Amino acid sequence: MKAVLRQRAQELGFDDCRFTTAEPPASGRHLETWLAEKRHGEMAWLERNAPKRLDPQLVLPGARSVIVLAVNYSVAEAESPSPCPLPVGRGEGARRAGEGCSGSGEQIASPGGSWHPSPHGLIARYARHSDYHDILGERLKTLTEYVNHLGGADTRSLWYVDTGPVLERDFAQRAGVGFVGKHTNVISRRFGNWILLAEILTTLELEPDAPEKNRCGACTRCLDACPTDAITAPFQLDARRGISYLTIELKGSNSVEFRPAIGNRIFGCDDCLAVCPWNRFAREAGLLRAFAKPALATPDLLELLALDDAGFKTRFMGTPLLRAKRRGLLRNVCVALGNAADPTALPALAKAAVDAEPLIREHAAWAIGQIESRHRLADG
């Protein structure tokens, strides 16, 4: 039955399909400590659904197996632009490497001959496609129906793709899909760091696959690369400091402390994933390549700043960026423009500084101050 399910999963576009038991995940105690320390920030659903995350029986009574699925979203290195980080903590080395970077690997010269970042933003790799929840959800529904068909009338199953109270990384390691790295993400020996996870909980009993063991060794590249020191120790993440949290999950103002470190990232961050040595085994994406949106790699920040609500929805409908809403994305755009310190952005920022949305106004004013301050210093 496992072979038949793997074959069907492959036909639907999944790159890996493995199996484990529905026993409680091993990291339950760590989750409780992490939540107690408030490292989840404003992500209240993590705390609200914690009991279910600790016991799959509370999600699906009678669950006996978990089918873990993975989809690869790797792209060729030449297709992936680099961030333009600014100095903070352990990110200093990355900052020096990125000085003068436009976010697309090129340098832009000003009329005066000095180098400065062009006003383009950077979006995390996974979000440069149509929304994976929709792409994978459609296929998971089909596969779940197939599981129930194979199991018979009494079989019950539930599927999730980053949407349910499931500690999916635990199940992925236990099923042998990959191992949880020091950056707390799953690393596959076949696809490196570039994988999306999904799972099917089922009352059908399936023989578990062998678990994967940790293969990080002494490597600390992910810790060293984090621009905000969000990876506080190996396997320890303070989400409140992470750029993915600051640009996506956080709904209010970004702390002034972290704004320079955000650089030109306007939705998510790949830094800790990109430096992992296991990426040398990454293969080019299959299923998700057909849903790629190249225009999302390094969008023009001034174009984004000009979007009204209707324009925002039209441009980002069916993509992960819709989740940020206009107010959140333009907040991030203002921060990126402030970090770029390009004076040609001042007229657009002045308009944003009187936007009807207070969050946008606040960050536009900060960006204007950053640009003016930096150019006063340069002139002095």
List domains and CATH numbers for the chain.
Answer: 2-74+129-202 (no CATH), 300-371 (1.25.10)
Cα 380 to Cα 377: distance, rounded to the nearest angstrom: 5
CB 329 within 8 A of CB 296: no
Catalytically annotated residues: 162
Q: From residue 367, how far is each of 85, 253, 348 by CA, in Å?
A: 16, 13, 11
Q: What is the pLDDT of residue 163?
A: 85
Q: Which residues of the chain have pLDDT under 50?
A: 78, 85-117
Cα 107 to Cα 342: distance, rounded to the nearest angstrom: 13
Q: From residue 352, how far is each of 355, 358, 371 by CA, in Å?
A: 5, 10, 15
CB 292 within 8 A of CB 19: no
Query: What is the pTM assigned to this prediction?
Result: 0.89
Q: What is the pLDDT of residue 111?
A: 31
DSSP state of 164: S
Q: What is the pLDDT of residue 101?
A: 41
The helix (run of H) or strand (run of E) holding residue 108 is strand 108-109
Cα 289 to Cα 297: distance, rounded to the nearest angstrom: 14
CB 351 within 8 A of CB 304: no
In order, the DSSP letters of 223-253 are HHH-TT--EEETTEE-GGG-HHIIIII--SP
Query: Phi, psi (5° rounding) for residue 26?
Result: -70, -25
Q: From residue 292, how far is each of 13, 80, 128, 264, 319 by CA, in Å?
A: 15, 12, 6, 21, 10
Q: What is the pLDDT of residue 165?
A: 94
CB 240 within 8 A of CB 248: no
The helix (run of H) or strand (run of E) holding residue 70 is strand 65-72
Cα 228 to Cα 242: distance, rounded to the nearest angstrom: 7
Helix axes 325-340, 358-379, angle to 10 degrees: 0
